[in-house]
Structure 1
Amino acid sequence: MLIPLGFAGIFGAGLAGWSAYVARKAEEMVPPDGQFADVAGARLHYVELGRKDAPAIVMVHGLMGQLRNFSHSLAERLASDHRVILVDRPGWGYSTVEGGRPGIVKQAAMIAALIEQIGLEKPLLVGHSMGGAVSLALALDHPGRIRGLALIAPLSQVVTKVPAPFAGLMAPPPLTPFLAWTMAVPAGMATAAKTARAVFAPDPVPADFATRGGGALAIRPASYLAGAFEVRNSPGEVAGIVARYGELKMPVAILYGRGDAVLDPELNGEKTVAEIAGATLALIEGGHMLPVTHAEATEAWLRGLG
């Protein structure tokens, strides 16, 4: 019995070492782009583009993402006449957290604190996918900080079944740390291309998404831990957000791709605009990663919001 247990320990240690090595290589491929700000409970990594005296836009990425999801194709299009802030959500990219891992509502408070700290005057808040849920929470709890919401393929309703590309994150919580440092990285590397195709479908995955789009950072133990936490905890928090939609008094616009294979446009788009007074929905051809694959159409939609 001692020999198998010893072998298992050596094998596990080897996988942990390999996972740490892969994480370092991913960070070499996708180094930090911007600067850091300390807020209560977190150190946030963000990039600022454009003129400081221009109207401000803050962009919040989704599950397993980071701020390069916006800088890949979209942000520079807006920076000519806007002050554009791209932020790694707490616990993602290069944003770190202190103490317990923050859920959607706490992340929203941290981003609201960043908006105040860097002196943004009522920015338009753009949230993609899970970043849409965080943006909705911010609008409900800190309405005075922003002028409106522009939600791209947002998670805005309770989704009880985890989208297929993220099913691997649904391990039993006691096993999650062990899996993050042993099996998650090699499994993620083996399935990375398939997962990316599923997330982008029906659009193609850009050849440079791993680097220019930040995709390589998803294959790290820290990303697995953050993703597993969010898929487990988001349904309860989203339910609380949905129950408060009647409180929203600011402009809310939603953009969805008709072919989105990750989140249902009817549930998260049509149902949501029916529950928020004055909200609008625009549908275009495309999948879930519209800021990357349909940047021109996404820019036009954002500019049309005023």
Structure 2
Amino acid sequence: MLFLIALIVIFIAVVQWRAAAREATTMRDYPPQGRLIDVDGTPVHVLIEGSGPDLVLLHGASGNLRDWTLDFVDRVSGRYRVIMFDRPGLGHTGRLRGKSGAWNAAFETPAEQAELLQKAAAIVGIERPVVVGHSFGGAVAMAWALNAPRDTGAVVMLGAVSNPWPGTLGWTYTMLGSAWGGALVVPVLSAFVPQSYVDASVETIFAPQPAPDGYAAHVGAGLVLRRESMRANAQQVNHLRPHIVKMSKRYESLSMPFEIVHGDADTIVPLAVHSVPLSQQVAGANLTVLEGIGHMPQHARPDAVEDAIDRAAARAGLR
């Protein structure tokens, strides 16, 4: 019995050591690209490029603002002041007070995330922005608009979560989003998930298109494999649906310009479940369906995304 206990203790120590070592390497290789702003005790990572009307870019689940800096920001920074945020718990933005900890299953709701980022936006002087949300970031973009409809110039949704979906997200999110999964399973994954699995996951996200050359290395996939980030991501995704249900009942109140871009080959956030209903819930919303495009339109069809942003800005009187 004592021998078994000793083995368990040794295993836990090795797991935590290896996870910490991998995290240290990731933080060395992927430091903040922008600056950290203190918002009520939470560090918020913001990167600002360009000049012009304000354009806010919100990344999806398992991501960070580096998703925009591979090449997309270069396409729009010549005519917009582009403000990119890491969402809470991801990239270099911290978790909200009371949400962190190995055994803590608390999570940041879309409304809480939007409120935090709006406070950061006020600090850097953002005014009536066009808010772009990709995937999970779309839920935060919707919360942003609902939180501050008069101060939101327009919204652009990219393969974005907006409406309740049938069924569940699967056992992995349920497990990793629980208190015991976050405390016991997450450190093991953080310590031992191989790069081959990360690369395969990236390809799955881009399917049926291939991931751009160098994408995984640029975005710093290891950032989401850090223990606290992995917990934050799983908890936020696992508990998202009830908040989407509540928010979706208020979409008809929104009157700012909406541009919706969605690939019809997106199997991660299906077009028919999310963007088609949203186009009918928001008066005047314009839906652009991209034939054969998957979940990453900002990379697969950046021209269509640029056009949607320009239309939204023009409709809002910002250009």
TM-score (norm 2): 0.89
Determine whether 1:169 maps to 2:173.
yes
Distance 1:79 1:175, change over 3 A: same
Equivalent AA in structure 2 for residue 73 of structure 1 = D
Write the distance in 2 (CA, Å) between the matches of 1:293 and 1:252.
Answer: 21
Write the distance in 2 (CA, Å) between the matches of 1:183 and 1:212.
Answer: 21
The match for 1:151 is: 157
The match for 2:294 is: 287
Contact 1:88 1:94 in 2 (8 A): yes
Deviation at 1:277, TM superposition (A): 1.4
Paired residues for 1:74-89 under 5 Å: 74-89=72-87
Contact 1:65 1:93 in 2 (8 A): yes
Write the distance in 2 (CA, Å) between the matches of 1:185 and 1:131.
Answer: 27
The match for 2:104 is: none
Equivalent AA in structure 2 for residue 62 of structure 1 = G
Of all paired residues, the percent bearing the same amino acid is 26
Distance 1:94 1:161, change over 3 A: farther
Distance 1:300 1:246, change over 3 A: closer
Deviation at 1:207, TM superposition (A): 2.9
Deviation at 1:282, TM superposition (A): 0.5
For residue 287 of structure 2, give the secondary structure of its aligned residue in structure 1: strand
Write the distance in 1 (CA, Å) between the matches of 2:23 and 2:245.
Answer: 34
Paired residues for 1:28-177 under 5 Å: 28-40=28-40, 42-51=42-51, 54-101=52-99, 102-161=108-167, 168-171=172-175, 172-177=178-183
Contact 2:89 2:233 in 1 (8 A): no
Q: What are the superposed Cα offsets for residues 181-228 of structure 1, whole Å, 9 maximum, x if unpaired?
A: 123442364521221121111110123112323333222212210111
Deviation at 1:304, TM superposition (A): 3.0
The match for 2:2 is: 2
Deviation at 1:259, TM superposition (A): 1.1
The match for 1:271 is: 277
The Cα RMSD (Å) is 1.8
Equivalent AA in structure 1 for residue 92 of structure 2 = Y
Write the distance in 1 (CA, Å) between the matches of 2:152 and 2:32.
Answer: 26
Deviation at 1:162, TM superposition (A): 5.1
Q: What are the superposed Cα offsets for residues 218-247 of structure 1, whole Å, 9 maximum, x if unpaired?
A: 222122101111122101111111111121
Contact 2:163 2:248 in 1 (8 A): yes
Paired residues for 1:209-228 under 5 Å: 209-228=215-234
TM-score (norm 1): 0.93
Contact 1:209 1:215 in 2 (8 A): no
Distance 1:274 1:185, change over 3 A: farther
More displaced stretch, 167-176 vs 8-17: 167-176
Deviation at 1:161, TM superposition (A): 4.2
Contact 1:45 1:95 in 2 (8 A): yes
Unmatched runs of 5 consecutive residues or more in structure 2: 100-107, 315-319
Equivalences, count: 302
Distance 1:96 1:136, change over 3 A: same
The match for 1:180 is: 186
Contact 2:205 2:295 in 1 (8 A): yes
User: Which segments of structure 1 move beyond 4 Å, counting only runs of 4 or more?
Assistant: 160-164
Deviation at 1:163, TM superposition (A): 5.3
